[in-house]
Structures are given as structure tokens and as C-alpha cells.
Amino acid sequence: MTTTAFFDLDYTLLNASSGVVYVRESVKQRRVPWWIVSYIALSHKLGRIDFGQAHAGLIPYVGKQGFQQTASFFETLIERYLLPRLSKKGREKIAWHQQQGHRVVIISASIEELVKPMAEHLGLGDDYLCTRLAVQDDRYTGQLDGPQCYGAGKVEWVKRWATENQLSFPETIGYVYTDSSSDLPLLELAQNPIAVNPSRKLAKIARARGWPIERFD
């Protein structure tokens, strides 16, 4: 049976939030007005839209030049601001799992434009799961392509991935590394749930359940 280790990206493999970096640079480069970001953030905080809808609402502004033309923006963003923030200990942990013969998958609520290049850089190829934005005729539609990869949505993405790769679900979920309590649905399915740089809430849950707590630099 294939054992899979799933790694969250933001504040786990990265020492920052890829989404925050992405939004900050989008505003800085005037790809999106600050008031649009504020409105979307407030709508999410008030529960009017979910995490995926927030991403979908932002991308038509950021990617208004088209999917292909916007790719260079994301490439520069990854190279300049995200790759330097990758955790050394996270890389070492990935290498350890690979040495054990485990399959390693990044699973993140962030959008594919941010997650895919990180997976490729880490030598994971297409082994990544994330929130995907719908594109039609080289244009972002402002909709999601599939469910948001957040909370219980991560379980749905893993289930799909396991089916596509002809792996048993949930038996293939050997390890889950994450910082957030929002990943509790996936953590509870893992044979080895690990809290990494955990939020206060996740740290409390991990201690109560006897889950390991690790610190990635």
C-alpha cells in the first residue's frame, strides 16, 4: 500500500502566507485597487463569501490581461518572494519521506498559480492539490474549477486524487503536516497527524490528543 505524506504550504512549508504575499504584490503593482481587496476581505470576515470565493473574486482584477499574460506576474512572484521563504526543515522532512518510499503531496488552500510552481521546485511534479480558478478562452471567469481546497474541501480533493491514482482512501493518508485547525477534517483521517508551527487552537487540540508538534524554521 502506498503511504502518502500531505504537506500544507502556508506557514508550514513556507514561513509566510502565499496568499498574503500575492495580494500585497497585486496591490503594489496596481493590478487590483486596494478597496476591492478590502471589500473582499470584509465579505469573507463577515461570512458572506468563503475562502474560495474570495480568491475567485480577486483574480478577474489581477488577471484582467488574460491567463497567459498574467503568468509572468506569478513567475516573478514565486521566484522573488516565495522560494526564499521555503523552510529548510520542511525540505528535509520531504526528503526523509521520499527516502522511506512515501509519496509526497502539497495540499493548500492557495491557488494553483502559486502552488504548482512550488511543487515543481520541490521535485514533486503534479503531486499537489489546491484551489483552482476557472479559465475560459484565456480569461479568468471569476469562478472556481472544482471545490475550494480548504477545510473539509481538502478531504474531497484527497479523495479525488486517491481515486485518480488508484489508491485506497483514506488508508493512503499516512501523514498530514499543517499549522491550521481548519485542516482538522484531514488531520483526523491521517495515521500520523502532525501539527507544524501550529496556531494556538491547533496546538491546544494537538496536546489534548497527543499529536506531535514540530517547528519548521
132-178 per-position pLDDT tens digit: 999 999 999 989 999 999 999 999 999 999 999 999 999 999 999 99
Flag the least confident range among 15-24, 43-52, 103-112, 192-201.
43-52
How far is Cα 110 from Cα 12, in angstroms, rounded to an integer?
13
Structure letter (DSSP) for residue 11: I
Q: Which residues of 170-198 are buried (b: 16+ CB within 10 A; e: fewer)?
A: eebbbbbbbbbbbbbebbebbeebbbbbb
pTM for the full predicted model = 0.94
Based on the structure, what is the number of domains in the chain? Answer: 1
- List of residues 6+ apart from 145 with CB closer than 8 A: 132, 133, 134, 135
Residue type, 107: I
Q: What is the pLDDT of residue 93?
A: 98
Q: What is the pLDDT of residue 200?
A: 97
List, for residues 32-66, the tens digit of each pLDDT value: 888 888 988 888 788 887 777 888 888 888 888 88
Comparing CA positions, the residue from 145, 164, 133 lying closest to residue 63 is 133
Flag the least confident range among 29-38, 117-126, 190-199.
29-38
List, for residues 52-111, the tens digit of each pLDDT value: 788 888 888 888 888 888 999 999 999 999 999 999 999 999 999 999 999 999 999 999
Domain that holds residue 18: 4-214
CATH of the domain at 53: 3.40.50.1000
Q: What is the pLDDT of residue 216?
A: 96
